[in-house]
């Protein structure tokens, strides 16, 4: 037979304590549908509502980033492809997203995230309000607030660019507790 | 005027004297959802001497934050023109995210009466 290793997939997800994972083309319509099981999983864990809301908020921003900025598109509909997951490890939620980006986007994204990682909550709040007043930057398809919003909701975050091929894979991880 | 609640958009009720917004706000397409709401607001505010706003959101995404900012800015301008406007920002006890959001918006409001109101817990 083949080595599809379905049991291995199950074991892997269980071992890394992943409650929810989606990998494939992502659209706003699909996000509406998958929001329900995500909410359900968060409730199942008897998570305090304030924390569940933060996890959900980071999840939505990450999903919308994939929809807007993934450079990997399906042939048929041109939908954005990416992977998004929520795990619960040692009483901390990990929300992860990965998608391909255009290599020309990398340096600007890296700069933005580096700057955000150096700011404390007070500065993030200030920056968020300033961005609301100023409106979105030119290269943004949203309000330009997504990464600031996530930085405000997480305990910490990290990002990475996997450069093994010509199109970098952008990785974002946020921890909520 | 009434905009029914959906999974990703709140209930909005608008009359010449009152606006109520309750629910979650992360629309599939923010401008598609917000344009008719904003148009209704423009039609209603100022037809009478006073206007009351009650907002109780449980979650909104970053795209909707811009809508809320513009919404409050419009109300504050109307209040500057002489309409007596009261805004009640309601948040559930222990929902520090929505409490903070309410405080953030409050800082840019100069002419409206703005109240942060701790609401009763979840109505499920």
B89-115 pLDDT tens trace: 999 988 889 999 999 999 999 999 999
Out of 3.60.21, 3.40.50, 3.30.200, 3.30.750, select the CATH number for domain B2-119: 3.30.750
Asked whether residue A1 is domain-assigned, the answer is no
- ipTM of the assembly? 0.89
Asked whether residue A153 is domain-assigned, the answer is yes
Instruction: Closest CB to B61: pick one of A48, A50, A60.
Output: A60
Task: Give the pLDDT confidence score for residue A48 in this predicted structure.
Answer: 87
Instruction: Closest CB to B97: pick one of A54, A64, A145.
Output: A54
Q: Which range marks the domain in which residue A20 is found?
A: 6-176
Domain of A26, CATH number, reads 3.30.565.10
Chain A residues whose beta carbon lies within 8 Å of the beta carbon of residue B100 = 125
Q: Chain B contact for A35, CB < 8 A?
A: yes
Task: Give the pLDDT confidence score for residue A140 in this predicted structure.
Answer: 67
Residue spans of chain B under pLDDT 70: 121-124
pTM of the model: 0.92
Residue spans of chain A under pLDDT 70: 1-2, 139-143, 165
Are B79 and B85 in contact, with CB atoms under 8 Å apart? yes
Shortest Cα–Cα distance, A90 to chain B (Å): 23
Spatial distance between the Cα atoms of A60 and A99, rounded to a whole number of angstroms = 15
Q: How many domains does chain A have?
A: 1
Task: Give the pLDDT confidence score for residue A135 in this predicted structure.
Answer: 80
Are B36 and B61 in contact, with CB atoms under 8 Å apart? no
Asked whether residue A141 is domain-assigned, the answer is yes
DSSP state of B89: E
Task: Give the pLDDT confidence score for residue A45 in this predicted structure.
Answer: 72
Task: Give the pLDDT confidence score for residue A166 in this predicted structure.
Answer: 75
Task: Give the pLDDT confidence score for residue B124 in this predicted structure.
Answer: 41
Are A57 and B61 in contact, with CB atoms under 8 Å apart? yes
Task: Give the pLDDT confidence score for residue B19 in this predicted structure.
Answer: 97
Q: Which of A145, A146, A148, A150 to mutate to test the interface with B (most CBs of B within 10 A)?
A: A145
């Amino acid at each position: 037979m083949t080595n599809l290793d379905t049991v291995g997939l199950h074991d892997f997800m269980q071992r890394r304590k992943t409650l929810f994972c989606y990998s494939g083309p992502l659209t706003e319509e699909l996000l509406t549908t998958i929001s329900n099981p995500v909410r359900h999983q968060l409730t199942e864990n008897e998570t305090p509502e304030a924390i569940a809301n933060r996890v959900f908020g980071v999840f939505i921003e990450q999903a919308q980033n994939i929809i807007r900025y993934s450079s990997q598109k399906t042939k048929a509909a041109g939908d954005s492809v990416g992977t998004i997951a929520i795990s619960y490890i040692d009483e901390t939620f990990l929300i992860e997203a990965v998608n391909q980006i255009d290599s020309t986007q990398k340096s600007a994204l890296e700069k933005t995230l580096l700057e955000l990682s150096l700011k404390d909550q007070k500065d993030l709040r200030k920056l968020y309000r300033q961005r609301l007043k100023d409106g979105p930057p030119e290269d943004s398809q949203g309000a330009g607030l997504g990464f600031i919003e996530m930085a405000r909701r997480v305990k910490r975050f990290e990002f990475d660019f996997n450069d093994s091929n010509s199109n970098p894979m952008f990785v974002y991880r946020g921890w909520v507790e | 005027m009434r905009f029914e609640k959906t999974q990703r958009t709140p209930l909005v009720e608008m009359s010449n004297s009152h606006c109520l917004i309750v629910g979650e706000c992360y629309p599939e397409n923010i401008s598609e959802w917000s344009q008719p709401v904003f148009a209704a607001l423009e039609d209603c505010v100022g037809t009478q001497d006073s206007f009351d706003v009650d907002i109780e959101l449980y979650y909104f995404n970053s795209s909707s934050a811009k809508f809320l900012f513009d919404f409050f800015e419009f109300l504050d301008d109307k209040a500057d023109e002489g309409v007596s406007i009261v805004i009640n920002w309601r948040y559930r006890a222990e929902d520090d995210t929505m409490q903070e959001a309410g405080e953030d918006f409050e800082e840019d409001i100069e002419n409206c009466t703005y109240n942060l109101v701790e609401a009763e817990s979840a109505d499920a």
